[in-house]
Structure 1
Amino acid sequence: MEGYFFHDARLGIPLPSLEKDWEEYNMMTQQEILLHWEAIRGQIPDRIASLENVINQKLAQLSDESDFMQSCRLNNEIAELASVINDLWIWYRSSEDTIESKLEQ
């Protein structure tokens, strides 16, 4: 499915990258794209769980940290990981409606 997806380093998953409008792809290509996306989408909850584990480790470090600057760094890292989780959930949830509407056409 090269050419239809790109790896997003921040999110840690491939994301759709379509060069044409959806309707311009033939039915077989549409189905392949949807199947590939569903496989990727199925990995999102595991990715989120992994990031939540990292956040919990950083929270544990933060509770024992006495250096203010290091505490600030840990807080920033936690905030960034939480932002990634939020974006992953958006991709996971928004795709349900999108994919269902594409299948109904």
Structure 2
Amino acid sequence: MEDFFSFNQRLGIPLPESYKSWDTYSEEDQQSILLTWEKIRGKIPDRISDLERIINLKQAALFDESDFKHSCQLNNEIAELASIINDLWLWYRTSQDISGKVHQ
């Protein structure tokens, strides 16, 4: 299924990326794709937890930071991590309908 998924560096997980219509895949390939996605999707909460730990460390560093430029940098890093978490949750939630097909 490497041709269907592409690793997204920013999110840290493979994401669906296909240039073909879903209907052009055989039923066996569709099932394999859905099972692969279900495994990837199952790792998203762990990825989010890892990012939340990093945010907590950066927030603690920000609390003690007195240099304005460094404070701004930490704020930007925290905002980017929060944006990644938001995107991961979107992938996790919007894919529930798709992954439900695996169990039918």
TM-score by length of 1: 0.94
- 5 Å-filtered alignment, 1:49-68, equals 49-68=49-68
Runs of 4+ in structure 1 off by over 3 angstroms are: 101-104
Matched, 1:41 2:36: no
Structure 1 residues 21-80: Cα deviation after superposition (integer angstroms, max 9, x where no partner)? 111111000000000000000000000000000000000000000000000000000000
The amino acid that maps onto 2:56 is: N
Q: Percent identity?
A: 60
The amino acid that maps onto 2:89 is: W
Residue aligning to 1:75: 75
The amino acid that maps onto 2:43 is: Q
Tell me the matched-pair count. Answer: 104
How much does 1:98 deviate?
A: 2.7
TM-score by length of 2: 0.95
Q: Which runs of 5+ in 1 are unaligned?
A: none
Structure 1 residues 73-104: Cα deviation after superposition (integer angstroms, max 9, x where no partner)? 00000000000000000000000023335766
CA distance in 2, matches of 1:83, 1:58: 15
Which stretch shows the higher mean deviation, 15-24 or 58-67? Answer: 15-24
Q: Which has the higher contact order (CA 8 A, sep 6+)?
A: 2
Q: Which runs of 5+ in 2 are unaligned?
A: none
User: RMSD value over aligned CA atoms?
Assistant: 1.3
